[in-house]
Structure 1
Amino acid sequence: MGDRTHTHTGAAGRAVTADRPASLRNVVLVGHSGSGKTTLVEALALTAGALNRAGRVEDGATVSDHDEIEQRRGRSVQLSVVPVEWDGFKINLLDTPGHADFVGELRAGLRAADAALFVVSAAQEADTVAGTTRSLWEECAAVGMPRAIVVTHLDTARTPFEEMSRICGRIFGNGDPDAVLPLHLPVQGHAGPDGHAPLTGLTALLSGRVFDHSSGERREAPLSGGRRGPLQEARARLIEGIIAESEDESLMDRYLAGDEIDVTTLVGDLERAVARGSFHPVLTAAPAAEGARQGIGTVELLDLITRGFPSPGERALPAVTTPDGVPRPAPVCDPAAPLVAEVVKTSSDPYVGRVSLVRVFSGTLRPDDAVHVCGHGLAGSGGADRPCHGADVRVGALSAPFGGQQRPVDHCVAGDLACVSRLGGAETGDTLSGDGDPLLMEPWTMPDPLLPLAVRAHGKADEDKLSQGLARLVAEDPTMRQEQNQDTRQVVLWCMGEAHAEVALEHLRSRYGVRVDAEPHRVPLRETFAARSVGRGRHVKQSGGHGQYAVCEIEVEPLPAGAGIEFVDQVVGGSVPRQFVASVEKGVRAQAARGVASGNPLVDVRVTLLDGKSHAVDSSDAAFQTAGALALREAAADTRVQLLEPVARIGVLVPDAYVGAVMSDLAGRRGRIVGTEQASGERTLVRAEVPETEIGRYTVDLRSLTHGTGRFDRAYARHEPMPPQRADRIREAHETGTKGS
């Protein structure tokens, strides 16, 4: 693995296809922003011949072709697929965004892949590596996904390769650092004035062969005497790690007895351990020098992918059920089997409309096939707002993605990926199956979006397009949730973070032609009476003809939290005619919905109608509604009205080192710590109750406080009285706004 002298050039500029799942590899690249994932994909594509030395294919496209938003921001915000050929294998390289806000694109890549390359930069701090990748590493481990690690930026390294290898073993070894070991040692040239030494080649630990790239070509070179000591030490540790994972238990006895284990046996055991996901090799790679045909370490990495990573048929496929939830036999990765596929990403193209990136798990997908599309919303992504849906549609044109380009293909077999146009209203996470046998795949989870973005149409022309644009945006991005808040009368987009929110606004403008303005998000508050009070509503008007006459007297008293509005009729003697009692109640409830002190709904009170007066001619339903509202306002003016704020129950998962800082921060947000629990991986779960007015930006603040290592979830707990000083400020602001209008 990585010891061969390749001159492979691949199939430049052509859409590559594979008709056998065994010849396919789907690999997702995971890593922090700036770790070099896209550069690595370009280097692999160049080595495999999918790009020329100018970094382009025949039609001028590049791997890093970005849309307008990515060009402006200088970083990826969406999943990109680049297929390359290597030694008869088709490799789908799935390049994912590194920014935490675009985790939806990353999860889509994980769903479509069968193995993962974790890209870590030696130019970044070790804490950055740990914070942004450990949770994803654990997700891959939970499903048994094979993983390898690629160290980049050794030429500008803060940390030497040997130390980076030890850091990776500590972070990713799950208590067994000997399961995370390098396959090669880098060869670096003389340090320049800046102290950085260029990467010039690699030494393969198992074979001891040195591959030198200093001339611009990959050539074998002799091993220098000064490197034999470090090589032997690293080689011995690697051999012990491979033997520990070997299925041949006699190897360890032979090794301990002093026998020399042949390289072929070691490489075979290494490949099997990598495919099982029990051993995780550490490699290094660098882009090709100007004019060179191959990057450093790219041949070794392509060899690892084709020989060590599993084919789609070697991976367990997601469970399937009928749309009614009846379990069905698991699909098989066979082109001749019934169709089971999934939409892993949805995007919009200005020329062809909605385009769906589909992973075919079973069967073969062809243009004009009649398929059933069935979806249930993604778990954790506001699925309650996206109910189960199904429809029979006809598949449009198929194409193979290549970065931002698509190339037509005539079919897509089990294990492969394709872009599909005209797939009806299919959304990310939907299942495609034969139209006569509808199936639904087990959903993949998405984190809840926790940053609110309140928007309104910029102008009259945008109002009609806003709802359609938002609906399409949410259908494409399962990490975004739309809310029409009836209490605050705001349209709220729940996003993963600030960058996610900014991209959403840009997509509305550029893709759907909708201009929107962001406004401060308002938390739905409540009002209630602090004590018993009485009020009299008198509505008397005479202006010729029939007038308006209604008088009512009420008593208002507070009720326990959650009781709502209770209306009681205690009128005696018919002072308020029976037909107008309901009118008083209607007026009271309407005023309660509008609020009596701050413009927020009144809750948890009992309103008792005690007495009133009427007129045989001038009393009416409308008059008694108005009198009921006036009575409630008068009762509120004679007592203290409490403002209630929602309290969230949150769980914050952070490394142990940040527990103190997080608890102190929560206290500053008027939070109450409920308890702490020890979690795996030297982490602690802090449980607390915090007013929602204090955590509107908590997803952003927590990321900053914990260097990207913390995450949290939230759920509504209850409404509680707001501190008087804060409540007074809100009431004053409401009164000022009311007078101003």
Structure 2
Amino acid sequence: MSVVTTKDKLSPANAKDRAFPMEWTRNIGIAAHIDAGKTTTTERILYYTGVVHKMGEVHEGTAVTDWMEQERERGITITAAAISCTWTTASGPFADIQHRVNIIDTPGHVDFTAEVERSLRVLDGAVAVFCAVAGVQPQSETVWRQATKYNVPRIAFVNKMDRTGADFLGALNDMRTKLAANAHPLYLPIGAEENFKGLVDLVSLTASLFDESDPMGVKSIPTEIPADMRDQVAQYREKLLEAVSDFDDVIAEKYLGGEEITPDEFKLAIRKATVAQGFVGVIPGSAFKKKGVQRLLDAVVNYLPSPLDLPAIKAEDSDANPVELQPNDSSKVAGLAFKLWSDPYVGKLVFVRVYTGTLTKGSVLYNPRTRRTERVSRLMVMKAASREDIDVAHAGDICALIGVKGVITGDTLCSEDLDVRLEPPTFPEPVISMSIEPKTKADQEKMSIGLGRLAEEDPTFRVTTNPETGQTLIAGMGELHLEIIRDRLFREFKVEADAGKPQIAYRETITGKAEGVGKFIRQSGGRGQYGHAVIKLEPNEKGKGIEVLNEIVGGVIPKEYIKPTIEGIMEAANNGTVAGYPVVDFIARIYDGSFHEVDSSEMAFKMAGIFAFKEAMARCAPILLEPVMKVEVSTPEEYQGDILGDTNRRRGRIQNMETKGGACIITSHVPLEMMFGYATDIRSLSKGRASYSMEPSHFEQVPSQILSKIVETSSRAPART
């Protein structure tokens, strides 16, 4: 991996064919907890870069990247919106060079975490936005973990510095303690709350005040570093130098030798440390009040990586051997389809990050998963809800394709003679489900089409049909997720539907070890059926999932019958013995059995696998697990007692309590079953002044007093499949 360090390296051979060479391209995401100010920050970026001429506001429903009706009505981001802009920084190693910045504004609500997951998978860098009052919040931790999983370098923007209770250094300390981030300020704020009036640049040791006479926040006024801040500035600059010198030998040598370090050298060292993911630069600001956003843009250009700065892209060939791809316009094409969207005007859009090669309109792409080729009829760049046709997309670009079929999220699209698979994003399992029925028979077919398209777009949304009742079941990440699905069915597919009561996605597991014998023997005057398998069942590590091991020796079960036996075990695991829910985290070892030369068949051994599993599981002390949510409530102190009492009533366990910015922050673990209708209850308990957020935490054993009710309910319900 090499990091671009000097201007004389910015004249690549491929620049003649493209408006912005890869060195001058930044693919970034804006990610944070709900209501930290991601969309407002994006709106300001679009204004300062000239994409829009009037700043949109989330609370007015005019934000460019919140373009869905559901987003504008609720004031939240639901789908990740991609948009491009250009920025020229005035100082640093990239001064006076126009850069293209491709931005994806991601949702903050946990119900739409899939949007963040797939966006971070294809981005080169990220801006993590934190609230200066609340600091690191639950969803902040989630998106930070997601960025770490996909090795995404990031910088941080501490937003809302104008709000009462804003504490820049407190938020910085939160990042260090809760996220284990090596976070250091690149700027220090001059003042806070209503007195937030300027920034001190720790790299160049200059200060500037916001020009209050400029309502759009474009201008700033150079000034001296305030006398009462000089000691603090010297202290934090020293810490910043120490942090980046660990990643740059030249800087370390100069720092230890007491030599002067120029601002450009300093910035290149920060860039190197950021790209190496060992350092996070932090910028204070207030997006709503139009303060500090231009300095954030400078940091995006100066410190976040271009596609060329990152390690080679890892892939697998058709034989599952590791392959490395280098970003290069002249190579064969390889890209990752990370998102699908049904557009009412142009049909199915497939969003692709092009990693290598040049993609042109009319070109033929190969899908290694389906072993089919697809022709690209149109090529576009997205600007939130609007589209712009293009003829070519280069390595490092993010674009949308029209005309390709049979593609799902995570598919690789490449040249036919390349045949590689890029690592797809991974998604959490749904935690809540409900039945859904159209109000009229005429809507049945339209609902099936609509649900099929929505499931194609959203990997965390599942649609199944119960074969016994014919009921359609939908599953997702939360109540809001399924509410939005129903709303989209009505608005986009003109289907009115009634929904049943939400159901919890319980799981079952085992706590002991046991053997199980499965025999399937049928004699019916002619060829009969004979299958016999013996298995050992034992618990697996939490979160490790299901492992089925073939430990047959001596051919007591022929190889051709092992696969159907495994299939039988997996099928039986879909309906456990406690309440009929899927079984997780176990190891099954097939170690004995027998067969008949004439009567044995694949079907007989599949049935033997089912019987063996059911018998073994019943002896393994099975338990029922329920999803538990991490809930964070922010409430004025006078309602603290009521909130705590309500949490205890919901079988919640308090994990932490602290006071921030005059509000009491209560963190607890509460079973999902007890969280339905919480939004309404918390409003009435606090006269509308408390707010909460929640995210899936873990699965936990259901208490015995609750278990009997769940088992009774499940025995009356149709069997799950």
| TM-score band, normalised by shorter chain | 0.5 to 0.7
Other structure's SS at 2:424 match: coil
Q: Look up the equivalent residue of 2:243 and give its one-letter code.
A: G
Q: Is the 8 A contact 2:40 2:63 kept in 1?
A: no
- Paired position in structure 2 for 1:9: none
Q: Look up the equivalent residue of 2:226 and give its one-letter code.
A: S
Note closer, same or farther for the CA distance 1:655–1:101 as it changes in structure 2 (3 Å cut): closer
Q: Does residue 373 of structure 1 match 2:367?
A: yes
Q: What is the distance in 2 between the residues matched to 1:107 and 1:367?
A: 28
- Identical columns (%): 24
Q: What are the equivalent positions in structure 2 for 1:78-477 lying under 5 Å apart?
A: 78-87=79-88, 88-123=98-133, 125-126=134-135, 129-174=136-181, 179-188=182-191, 196-214=193-211, 215-216=213-214, 217-248=219-250, 250-251=252-253, 255=255, 258-287=258-287, 295-322=290-317, 324-327=318-321, 329-375=323-369, 389-477=370-458
Q: Look up the equivalent residue of 1:286 and give its one-letter code.
A: S
Pick from 464, 479, 496: which aligns with 1:515? 496
Give how far 1:521 is off: 5.4
Q: TM-score, normalised by structure 2?
A: 0.67
Deviates more, 1:43-52 or 1:72-81: 43-52
Q: What is the distance in 1 between the residues matched to 2:146 and 2:70?
A: 29
| Residue-by-residue CA offset, 1:163-194 (whole Å, 9 max, x unaligned) | 222222222335xxxx21111111248xxxxx
Q: What is the distance in 2 between the residues matched to 1:135 and 1:20?
A: 33
Q: Does residue 27 of structure 1 match 2:28?
A: yes
Other structure's SS at 2:188 match: strand
Q: Look up the equivalent residue of 1:171 and give its one-letter code.
A: K
Q: Look up the equivalent residue of 1:80 and give its one-letter code.
A: A
Q: Is the 8 A contact 1:341 1:361 kept in 2?
A: yes
Note closer, same or farther for the CA distance 1:150–1:670 as it changes in structure 2 (3 Å cut): closer
| Residue-by-residue CA offset, 1:175-220 (whole Å, 9 max, x unaligned) | xxxx21111111248xxxxxx4153321111222112222322231
Note closer, same or farther for the CA distance 1:655–1:502 as it changes in structure 2 (3 Å cut): closer
Q: Is the 8 A contact 2:629 2:694 kept in 1?
A: no
Q: What is the distance in 1 between the residues matched to 2:714 and 2:112?
A: 35
Q: What is the distance in 1 between the residues matched to 2:504 and 2:285?
A: 49
Q: Does residue 39 of structure 1 match 2:33?
A: no
Q: Is the 8 A contact 2:379 2:391 kept in 1?
A: yes
Give how far 1:423 is off: 1.9
Q: Is the 8 A contact 2:362 2:376 kept in 1?
A: yes
Q: What are the equivalent positions in structure 2 for 1:329-728 lying under 5 Å apart?
A: 329-375=323-369, 389-486=370-467, 489-520=470-501, 648-649=624-625, 708=694, 711-712=697-698
Give how far 1:307 is off: 1.8
Q: What is the distance in 2 between the residues matched to 1:275 and 1:708?
A: 31
Give how far 1:420 is off: 1.6
| Residue-by-residue CA offset, 1:497-520 (whole Å, 9 max, x unaligned) | 111111111122222233221113
Note closer, same or farther for the CA distance 1:311–1:725 as it changes in structure 2 (3 Å cut): closer
- Paired position in structure 2 for 1:595: none
| Residue-by-residue CA offset, 1:560-610 (whole Å, 9 max, x unaligned) | 9999999999xxxxxxx999xxxxxxxxxxxxxxxxxxxx99xxxxxxxxx
Give how far 1:351 is off: 1.2
Q: Is the 8 A contact 1:29 1:116 kept in 2?
A: yes
Q: Is the 8 A contact 2:432 2:504 kept in 1?
A: no
Note closer, same or farther for the CA distance 1:317–1:648 as it changes in structure 2 (3 Å cut): farther
Structure label with greater radius of gyration: 1
Q: What is the distance in 1 between the residues matched to 2:250 and 2:326?
A: 29
Q: Look up the equivalent residue of 2:274 and give its one-letter code.
A: V
Note closer, same or farther for the CA distance 1:250–1:730 as it changes in structure 2 (3 Å cut): closer
Q: Structure 1: where are the runs of 5+ without partners?
A: 1-15, 190-195, 290-294, 376-388, 526-559, 570-576, 580-599, 602-641, 672-685, 735-741
Note closer, same or farther for the CA distance 1:181–1:667 as it changes in structure 2 (3 Å cut): same
Q: What is the distance in 1 between the residues matched to 2:101 and 2:505?
A: 50
- Paired position in structure 1 for 2:93: none
RMSD: 4.4
Other structure's SS at 1:711 match: strand
Q: What is the distance in 2 between the residues matched to 1:81 and 1:448?
A: 25
Give how far 1:235 is off: 2.1
- Paired position in structure 2 for 1:610: none
Q: What is the distance in 1 between the residues matched to 2:694 and 2:504?
A: 26
Q: TM-score, normalised by structure 1?
A: 0.65
Other structure's SS at 2:413 match: strand
Q: Look up the equivalent residue of 1:474 and give its one-letter code.
A: A
Give how far 1:224 is off: 2.7
Q: What is the distance in 2 between the residues matched to 1:271 and 1:82?
A: 24
Q: What is the distance in 1 between the residues matched to 2:46 and 2:346?
A: 27
Other structure's SS at 2:197 match: strand
Q: Look up the equivalent residue of 1:136 and give its one-letter code.
A: V
Q: Look up the equivalent residue of 2:351 and give its one-letter code.
A: L
Q: Look up the equivalent residue of 1:208 and give its one-letter code.
A: L
Note closer, same or farther for the CA distance 1:665–1:407 as it changes in structure 2 (3 Å cut): same
Q: Is the 8 A contact 1:76 1:97 kept in 2?
A: yes
Q: Is the 8 A contact 2:37 2:287 kept in 1?
A: no
Deviates more, 1:499-508 or 1:427-436: 427-436
Note closer, same or farther for the CA distance 1:65–1:450 as it changes in structure 2 (3 Å cut): closer
Q: Is the 8 A contact 1:338 1:362 kept in 2?
A: yes
Q: Is the 8 A contact 1:488 1:523 kept in 2?
A: no
Q: What is the distance in 2 between the residues matched to 1:264 and 1:438?
A: 43
Give how far 1:243 is off: 2.3
Q: What is the distance in 2 between the residues matched to 1:726 and 1:65?
A: 40
Q: Is the 8 A contact 2:431 2:505 kept in 1?
A: no
Give how far 1:460 is off: 0.4
Q: Structure 2: where are the runs of 5+ without partners?
A: 1-16, 89-97, 507-513, 527-578, 581-617, 634-642, 654-668, 683-690
Q: Is the 8 A contact 2:380 2:389 kept in 1?
A: yes
Note closer, same or farther for the CA distance 1:325–1:136 as it changes in structure 2 (3 Å cut): farther
Other structure's SS at 2:456 match: helix
Other structure's SS at 1:368 match: coil
| Residue-by-residue CA offset, 1:83-114 (whole Å, 9 max, x unaligned) | 11123211111100111100111112102210
Note closer, same or farther for the CA distance 1:17–1:99 as it changes in structure 2 (3 Å cut): farther
Give how far 1:302 is off: 1.7
Other structure's SS at 2:380 match: strand
Note closer, same or farther for the CA distance 1:113–1:18 as it changes in structure 2 (3 Å cut): farther
| Residue-by-residue CA offset, 1:268-324 (whole Å, 9 max, x unaligned) | 2112111211110110233486xxxxx4322322221112111112223543334x5
- Paired position in structure 1 for 2:662: none
Aligned residue pair count: 550
Give how far 1:373 is off: 2.9
Give how far 1:391 is off: 2.7
Q: Is the 8 A contact 1:40 1:285 kept in 2?
A: no
Q: What is the distance in 2 between the residues matched to 1:711 and 1:263?
A: 44
